[in-house]
Amino acid sequence: MLKHLTAPRLSTLQRFFLTTSQTDTLGCYAWNQAVAAGMLPLLADVEVSLRNALHGALSRYYGAVDSFGWMMPRANPAHAINPAAPMLLPPIHKLSSRSRDDVVCAMDKVSGRKPAAHVVTPDDVVAALPLGFWEVLIGALAHHAQPRGLQAHILAAVFPHAPDTALFPYDSPAFRKRVVALLKRLRDVRNRIGHHDAIWTIPEFDRFGTLGLIPRRPRHAVNSLRRLVDHLVWFAGWIDPAISVHLRNSDHCWSLQALLDRHALATYRRWGGRAGTLHLVLDRAATQNHRMEMRNRMLAPPSAARSIARYFY
């Protein structure tokens, strides 16, 4: 496999991890892939939750329903009377020219994969829009072309559990910029993963989206990626704390935490990332969890053991 990867790509990895053999190099490469694969479902859950929350809030604002075409071009009634009039009017929500292009592109994409008779719905468009669209949308909520108070109305509906709203109210530039900065960091991570880029040098960022340490050693990368996952789960809780609970209790998050460990990286380096390496890492994590559960079970009342046993009979 190594001969099919470019020398610059491999040299970056080899310098960072100080690899000593082909097996070591392949192991580091496979660890990077495994961590990236573990992050994608968490990023996807946050993106879907965010876009649905924004779509719902804007739909209720403009159409008083849960799903409304606030971003879609509208039929122009004047065209029926005067053929010289434009067939379509701009969306009811003011969008930049690039964002309008994103919507048209999304509508074309949906039409291209649906039957000819299918009428593109707002939900179709929401599902096809890129994450960057929503980032730009939030950043433009306070534009002078928008209705007065729109930013506060929408962001309060989308992020009802946001922290520090006493210091940074929903209508403040600081709150809007904080959300946009955090989304930019998460989009950068997702883009790195999507382009099969190195994730071990992703810069740390704080809870305001401000960039910090750039990892320079493997141990830095492990710790920084753990912080990134924590920030992702924490940010999801702005929308609904139940999302954070779901993410933390998911298999994806559990396996990711197992991978973001120095022993896991050492295992990948030792085995070259070949088949079974991930199982070794997860088995070790499961054994540690089992020991903890056994210790807790010994301290738990007998009724707890009986309530668990009933699921197996």
Of the candidates 200, 208, 164, 168, the one whose C-alpha atom is nearest the C-alpha of residue 184 is 208
What is the distance in angstroms between the CA of the first residue and the CA of the last residue of the chain?
Answer: 48
Of the candidates 176, 186, 140, the one whose C-alpha atom is nearest the C-alpha of residue 156 is 176
Q: What pLDDT was estimated at residue 118?
A: 93
- Report the C-alpha dihedral over residues 61, 65, 67, 69, rounded to 10 degrees: -60
Neighbours of 211 (CB within 10 A): 12
pLDDT in tens, 75-93: 898 888 888 888 889 999 9
Q: What is the band of 298 on the pLDDT scale with cuts at 50, 70, 90? A: very low
The secondary element (H helix, E strand) that includes residue 74 is strand 74-75
Amino acid identity of residue 114, one-letter, is K
Q: How far apart (Å, rounded) are the C-alpha atoms in residues 299 and 237?
A: 32
Distance of CA 138 to the CA centre of its chain: 16
Cα-based angle 103, 107, 110 (whole degrees, multiple of 5): 140
Q: What is the band of 309 on the pLDDT scale with cuts at 50, 70, 90? A: very low
Place of tokens 């994590």: 285
Q: What pLDDT was estimated at residue 49?
A: 98
Q: What pLDDT was estimated at residue 179?
A: 98
Q: How far apart (Å, rounded) are the C-alpha atoms in residues 154 and 186?
A: 21
Extents of the domains making up the chain: 2-274
Q: How far apart (Å, rounded) are the C-alpha atoms in residues 299 and 52?
A: 43
Cα-based angle 96, 99, 100 (whole degrees, multiple of 5): 85
- Backbone phi, psi, residue 94, to 5°: -70, 125
What share of the chain has pLDDT > 70, as a percent?
92
Are the CB atoms for 72 and 65 separated by under 8 Å? no
pLDDT in tens, 199-208: 999 999 999 9
Q: What pLDDT was estimated at residue 80?
A: 80
116 vs 121, more confident? 121
Q: What pLDDT was estimated at residue 110?
A: 95
